[in-house]
Amino acid sequence: MVNFTATANFIWAVADLLRGDFKQSQYGRVILPFTLLRRLECVLEPTKDAVLQIAGQGESFGDALPALLSNAAEQPFYNTSPMTLGNLGETQILENLEAYVQSFSPEAREIFDHFHFSEYLEMLDKANLLYLVVKKFASMDLSPAKISNYEMGLAFEELIRKFAESSNETAGEHFTPRDIVHLATSLVFMDDDESLTQAGAIRTLYDPTAGTGGFLSEGTALMSEMNQNAVIRVHGQELNPESYAICKGDMLIKNQEVANIKLGNTLSDDQLQYEKFDYMLSNPPFGVDWKKVQKVIQSEHKVKGYGGRFGAGLPRVSDGSLLFLLHLISKMKPADEGGSRIGIILNGSPLFTGGAGSGESEIRRYILENDLLEGIIALPTDMFYNTGIATYIWVLSNRKSEERKSKVQLVNATDVFVPMRKSLGSKRRMFSEEQIDSIVKQYGEYEPSENCKIFDTAAFGYRRITVERPLQLAFYPQDEARLSALSADKAWAKWDESLRLQTLEALATLDDKYLSRDGFKKAVTKAGAKLSAAQFKLLQKHLSEHDSEAEVCTTKGKPEADSNLRDYENVPLTESVEDYFAREVLPHVPDAWIDESKTDEKDGKAGIVGYEVPFNRHFYKYVPPRSLEEIDAELDALSAEIMTLLQEVHS
């Protein structure tokens, strides 16, 4: 087997020619398309004469020509130019090379367009480097006889990794670290060992945020390791044109159907709308808003409901991560057709953001009540190129094993990592192969431990009840400060002047304090001020305050609730609301009651159902504070050290 790392390093050595004339972050934009160009040329070399013969009779074949050319090339792509990198010449090399690239079939040619290859060729030509670079690549043997599709794919991935390292300020937006990719892919594939080792196994893999194709490449590689005879058909969509070009080029090298790799915004323009997949993997952007596509998504949510992708709910516009998760769920095959498994990398926000009834909570509710969430693995911080925040791998499945049904497994791998010798942007830590195997094994063994916990799905749900307390008001009609506030109110100024005077005169005749609203109202009326309900409410606003000794205010014989004393309780779904209320609330506030009018839209019961996954709470370890004696001893030692240093300065 060819050492793909050595091959990649040999190819990347072209960067020595570019140094000084190109920025380090531009090396990949030259090396990647040239590598792809040379590989395609080597693949097509055995059938080149047959293709040129068909191309020479092109007019006579009409619309059938593309199919005949592909058939002659024995590949899903072809090139109709008689030129190669080795015979482009030196004097008109730019024009010849551009003509050569334009002679590829549309699917292959499009890749070079998205690389902006023509622009970089002009830059190379102006720097008098184009001939040298072409000559270097023409000398490389990248033929299938020398390096297989699988090995070439690995070499291309290594080049992508080097490109990501050289431009790590933005790499994290389009490139997921390979250790994370390997872990997520292994977790998603782990339940299919039997079928993946059978002859003729065919599986589909999808990534809606394909980036440079890391998940698609890893899935292909893992499938090959498990079953050389298995077939995996990859599909993906990517928003960034350059990343799309890299991904499509990689898939072309691996002899995948590149027509299944799409360019565009997955959320607003799903170009694989009617497809369902066996496996799905994704690393959507963390905390990126979806304001640009808000109208399209809200329209789908409103018009299609559960018939579309976003029926469960919409998260806040500032973070679209859960939209990608809902999109993936919509691509799951029905369980009776084999079902699907999903692996998605998310930050901490989707675990708990949004209270009961919010879009985020409703999405979590849909996932958990439909028993789609299989497990969540917490990763260490500092694992990604462009952020050091805490991240999690969510594993979802609609074909859970019997022991996993209605259960969710949480694995805490935050302390499992090896420090990197050299940081790459924010990435300072990584997983070793042994650590990845250990995490996957622990997840697969499904045994509770200090770092692995198993819960019923209902354990993450709660019912948010509204707790009311009675309105009890004391009135102070003689209080000067309160009367001044009343007189300064804009609503007071709108009263008729005679009514204002009449009211103030009436208040002046009353007692200093009233512990009954009805008593106070009767006294005001008896004193000559006849007020409407709204006018009396203005007096109540300024002249009253809560007093637990006061009479309870009622309406139609029922106690009114004091909005200032209103509280909320989250009652676990696994517990009776009545039992919880009697145990946790009434002993402290015996006059409280539950507002039965606040009901859940779906089940109609009192309280609004919410879901959250308080991951850190379940793995929290209490660390007792240091003793006072230990702190005092440390302070004494530091003081002595400072005094010694001061004596040395003065001596």
pLDDT of amino acid 253: 80
Tokens for 156, please give them.
Answer: 């291309």
What is the dihedral angle through the alpha carbons of 144, 149, 151, 154, rounded to the nearest 10 degrees? 140
**Is 647 within a domain?**
no
pLDDT at position 167, please?
66
Q: For the ranges 187-196, 282-291, 424-433, 483-492, which has the lowest average pLDDT?
A: 187-196
Confidence band, pLDDT 50/70/90 cuts, at residue 169: very low
Q: In what order do the strands lie in the sheet with 261-263?
A: 261-263, 231-238, 202-207, 279-282, 341-347, 391-397, 373-378, 407-412, 452-456
Distances (CA, A) of 225 to 181, 229, 342, 375, 604: 16, 10, 20, 25, 52
Residue 100 has pLDDT above 70, yes or no: yes
On whether both 251 and 351 belong to a single domain, the answer is: yes
The per-residue b/e assignment along 25-64, b for 16 or more CB within 10 angstroms, e otherwise, is ebbbbbbbbbbbbbbbbbbbeebbeebbebbeeeeeeeee
Q: What is the CATH number of the domain that holds 240?
A: 3.40.50.150
Task: Classify residue 586: in a domain, yes or no.
Answer: no
Instruction: Tell me, yes or no, whether 278 and 331 share the same domain.
Output: yes
pLDDT at 595: 95
In this structure, the answer to whether residues 264 and 309 fall within a common structural domain is: yes
- pTM of the predicted structure, to 2 decimals: 0.85
Show the tokens assigned to 378: 């917490």
Any domain includes 262: yes
Residues 2 and 102 in one domain: yes
Paired residues of 79 in beta bridges: 104
Do residues 488 and 428 share a domain? Answer: no
Asked if residue 173 and residue 108 are part of one domain, the reply reads no
CB-CB contact of 90 with 131 (8 Å): yes
574 phi, psi to nearest 5 deg: -80, 0
Angle in degrees, CA 273, 275, 280, rounded to 5: 105
On whether both 59 and 114 belong to a single domain, the answer is: yes
pLDDT surpassing 50 at residue 492 = yes
User: Where residue 251 falls among pLDDT bands split at 50, 70, 90?
Assistant: confident
* Per-residue confidence band for 2, with pLDDT thresholds at 50, 70 and 90: low
Quick check: is 124 in a domain? yes
Supply the DSSP string of 248-263, one letter for each residue. HHHHHHTT--GGGEEE
In degrees and rounded to multiples of 5, residue 395 shows phi and psi of -115, 125
Q: Residue 4's pLDDT is what?
A: 77
**Confidence category of residue 630, pLDDT binned at 50, 70, 90:** confident
Tokens of 568: 């909320």
* pLDDT range class, residue 172, cuts 50, 70, 90: very low
Asked, for residue 109, whether it belongs to a domain, the answer is yes
Interval 557-591: pLDDT, tens: 899 999 999 999 999 999 999 999 999 999 999 99
Q: Report how many domains make up the chain.
A: 3
Strands 473-475 and 544-546: antiparallel
Q: Looking at the structure, do residues 116 and 254 belong to the same domain, yes or no?
A: no
Instruction: Inform me whether the pLDDT recorded for 435 exceeds 60.
Output: yes
| Token duo for residue 293 | 């596509």
List Cα–Cα distances, 357 to 315, 354, 568, in angstroms.
11, 8, 14
Range of lowest pLDDT (192-201, 467-476, 620-629): 192-201
Express each pLDDT in 586-624 by its tens digit. 999 999 999 999 999 999 999 999 999 999 899 888 788
Instruction: Look at 570 and 240; give whichever has higher pLDDT.
Output: 570
pLDDT (tens digit per residue) in 274-327? 999 999 999 998 888 999 999 999 999 999 999 999 999 999 999 999 999 999
| Predicted confidence band of residue 174 (pLDDT cuts 50, 70, 90) | low
More confident residue, 463 or 643: 463
| Structure token pair of residue 622 | 């209490």
Is residue 178's pLDDT more than 90?
A: no
Distance CA(651)–CA(645), nearest Å, equals: 10
Given the structure tokens 């299938």, which residue do they identify? 144
The three-state secondary structure class of 610 is: strand
Dig out the tokens for 49 from the structure.
Answer: 């004469």
* Shared domain check, 207 and 233: yes
Question: Does the pLDDT at position 34 exceed 90?
Answer: yes
What was the pLDDT predicted at 52? 92
Whether 388 and 413 map to the same domain: the answer is: yes
- In whole angstroms, give the CA distance from residue 340 to residue 323: 18
Give domain status of residue 254, yes or no.
yes
Between CA 418 and CA 19 the distance in angstroms is 32
How confident is residue 501, by pLDDT bands cut at 50, 70 and 90?
Answer: very high
- Per-residue pLDDT band at 650 (split at 50, 70, 90): confident
Alpha carbon distances (Å) from 617 to 20, 345, 380, 412, 614:
52, 20, 16, 11, 5
Look at residues 526, 542, 559 and tell me which one is the last residue of a structural domain. Answer: 559
How confident is residue 196, by pLDDT bands cut at 50, 70 and 90?
low
Residue 461 or 224, more confident: 461
459, 483, 512 - which closes a domain: 459
Q: How far apart are CA 67 and CA 65, in angstroms?
A: 6
**Assigned domain for 338 exists:** yes
* R_g (Cα) of the chain, nearest Å: 35
Given 96, 113, 148, the domain boundary residue is 148
pLDDT surpassing 90 at residue 545: yes
pLDDT mean over 395-418: 96
Q: Are 330 and 393 found together in one domain?
A: yes
The pLDDT score that the predictor gives to residue 651 is 64
Which residue range forms the structural domain that includes residue 552?
A: 473-559
Residues 81 and 175 in one domain: no
The per-residue pLDDT of the chain, averaged, comes to: 91
Q: Is 224 a member of any domain? A: yes
3-state secondary structure at position 475? strand
Query: Residue 619's closest CA among 406, 378, 353?
Result: 378
- 408 with 455: CB under 8 angstroms? yes
Instruction: Say what the pLDDT of residue 589 is.
Output: 95
Q: At 155, is the pLDDT very low, low, confident or very high (cuts 50, 70, 90)?
A: confident
Decide: 418 and 432 in contact? Cβ < 8 Å.
Answer: yes
**1 vs 508, more confident:** 508
